[in-house]
């Protein structure tokens, strides 16, 4: 479970490099999806709404897509993300 959080940090770091503004601090919200397929569909959904995002592929598991991060999102664009539940630590 902790690995999920690590993957999201990788994606957030890469998105920050690409979309970040050093003059503004962005909020971080970690959401979850149920599968790689849903993650890929989420990427398509963001692209169709012109929300820039970075899809992280983990080389240690065959390049599987494991996380994505968006550019800072505000206003009405935030609604696109409202359907995704927040990530929670699952106790072992």
pLDDT in tens, 77-89: 999 999 999 988 7
pLDDT in tens, 15-40: 999 998 888 888 888 999 999 999 99
Domain ranges of the chain: 2-81
What is the SS3 string spanning the chain?
A: CHHHHHHHHHHHHHHHHHHCCCCCCCCCCCECCCCHHHHHHHHHHHHHCCCCEEEEEEHHHCCEEEEEEECCCCHHHHHHHCCCCECCCCCC
């Amino acid at each position: 479970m902790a690995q999920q959080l690590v993957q999201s940090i990788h994606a957030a770091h890469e998105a920050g490099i690409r979309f970040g503004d050093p003059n503004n601090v962005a909020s971080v919200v970690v959401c979850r999806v149920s599968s790689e397929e849903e993650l890929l569909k989420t990427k398509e959904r963001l692209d169709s709404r012109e929300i820039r995002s970075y899809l992280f592929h983990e080389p240690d598991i065959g390049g599987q897509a494991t996380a994505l991060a968006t550019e800072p999102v505000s206003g009405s664009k935030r609604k696109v993300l409202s359907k995704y539940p927040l990530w929670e630590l699952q106790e072992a």
